[in-house]
Structure 1
Amino acid sequence: MKNFKISSIAILLIAANTLTSCSKVIFKDTFNKDQLNMDNWSYEEGDGCPDLCGWGNAERQIYSRDFVELENGKLVITAVKDGDKYYSGKINTKDKVEFKYGNIEIRAKVATGQGIWPALWMLGADISEVGWPASGEIDLMEYVGKEPHTLYTSLHTPASHGETINSKKTTLRDIEEGYHIYRTEWTEDHISFSVDGNLVYTFTPENYDEKEYPFRKPFYFLINLAVGGNFGGPEVDDAIFPAKFYVDYIKVTKL
């Protein structure tokens, strides 16, 4: 009977720990369905006009949901050239999945080639009210094909945006090969980025005000594949198309 009681207690503790661990997941999408989960995601479409033509960066692509699909348990965003126009895809979780602080993990495979610009990023949920850059922006991962073997992790704030100083350019020789795990730890006091378990950049501001650290509020996700523009271009090698950006999963857990 004594052994039975000990075993029962052990089982209860394991069950409790399991429930606690599960409760820490804020958001998870493994893209294992036939269609994108519209309870989590929305499409962004068009060329950004009239308010933000070229999506604010002189990008060439026109976004369409036709270039966002789920395939073999992966989110696939494809960029193509059709005639003299470029098309690609962009999705976000605005008004659907918004959260403040957490450990963010994304497994993805970048699209490559001159003029291509895949990105995993976040914007403040109050962007409609305060605009950018007051909303803040967290660039979890950006890759531009014109700079092979290079990864960007950046923060945009009212104090530093556009060509922000809050940025790290990291050389990763195998970044174009297969999938990599991008992790971001977002806290009340700092934001740190790692790739495949290796820390690449930590941002800690000098002052915790809205100008230098507008990151103490809910944010939402964006995933897109841009073509050309001020950062991705300006030159584009049309021989690279179709170019594909793959995301295996995205997961957020509480700190």
Structure 2
Amino acid sequence: MNKLFLYSCLLFLVISSYGQGKIIFQDDFNQSELDTTYWNYELGDGCPTLCGWGNEESQWYQKENIKVKDGFLHIKASKVNEQYFSGKITTKDKVSFKYGTIEVKAKVPNGKGLWPAAWLLGSDISEVGWPACGEIDMLEYLGRDPNYLYTSLHTPDSHGETINTKRTFVKGIDKGFHIYKTIWTKEAIIFYVDDILLYTFSPQIKNDKVWPYNKPFYLILNLAIGGKFGGKDIDDTALPEEFIVDYIKITQ
């Protein structure tokens, strides 16, 4: 029997068993403010060490652009005078995990230059840097590219304009809430939206350059404005606009 077929069957069985385990982290944003037991605010523009957050982004991150109300997390992109503002939160040094199923129910904003994202970074980033730490982009949406989702992996072998990526047409993805799910095992990382398969990353060779995904990662939610990927053409008339998250849940 074909070895590749056997490997595919085994991978399917392993993946199918995920998402049925216990919840190791969940935030339904039902409190009156962000729970800083789990979340950190990332502030500023990345300077002096990583100006523009490494992507020539235009926004200044501040607490005021993050609100928790009516059971939702609101991350707002705005412009005051000539300055763009937005929000970014992480679970660095507070919540990290190795392998599991991550679900984010969210509504993406509209408008050229807006770039909402739900993603993960290796918890050892302070020690080894990027891209050695690894990055998992489970949701990226570009206002300049309506109806398309981006799911990507950044590794020492392929980063920046990574080849480990998929741009998928999903009609109406900018309308209402959708469930973005990523299943991460020791064999593969698989991305879904509303249970529609988007992309599977499962290299046969899993060394540190190709597969830095055998260690804990932490979560990031943010709404960037502009930049090399978000697009330099920013539609100011669309602002203010919000990236709204209903819940985030991790099971193992």
Give runs of ≥4 in structure 1 deviating > 3 Å.
none
Partner of 1:3: none
For 1:49-71, what per-residue CA distance to the aligned partner results, in whole angstroms no more than 9, with x for missing partners? 00000000000000001100102
Partner Cα distance (1:36, 1:224) in 2? 14
Paired position in structure 1 for 2:175 = 177
**Structure-2 residue corresponding to 1:26:** 24
1:251 match: secondary structure: strand
Taking structure 2 as the reference length, the TM-score comes to 0.91
Correspondence list, 1:95-114, <5 A: 95-114=93-112
Could you say what secondary structure the match of 1:129 adopts?
A: helix
User: For residue 159 of structure 1, what is the aligned residue in structure 2?
Assistant: 157
1:141 corresponding residue in structure 2:
139
| CA offset digits 1:7-27 (Å, max 9, x no partner) | xxxxxxxxxxxxxx9971110
- Give the alignment of 1:19-58 within 5 angstroms: 24-58=22-56
Unaligned runs of 5+ in 1: 1-20
Q: Which residue of 1 aligns with 2:236?
A: 238
Deviation digits for residues 197-254 of structure 1 (CA, Å, limit 9, x no counterpart)? 1111100113111100000000000000000000001110100100100000000001
Instruction: State the percentage of identical aligned residues.
Output: 56
Counterpart code for 1:52: L
Cα distance in 2 for partners of 1:151, 1:252 equals 21
Larger mean CA deviation between 200-209 and 81-90 belongs to 200-209
2:225 counterpart (227, 232, 242): 227
**Aligned residue identity for 1:49:** C
1:90 to 72, 88, 91: 88
Conservation of the 8 A alpha-carbon contact between 2:33 and 2:69: no
Rounded to whole Å, the distance in 2 between the matches of 1:25 and 1:224 is 23
- The amino acid of 1:45's aligned partner reads L
For structure 2, the residue ranges without an aligned partner over 5 or more in a row are 1-18
Distance of 2:156 and 2:101 partners within structure 1: 24
| 1:202 has 2:200 as partner | yes
Q: Of the two, which has the highest radius of gyration?
A: 1
**Alpha-carbon displacement from aligned partner over 1:97-122 (angstroms, at most 9, x marks no partner):** 00000011110000111000000000
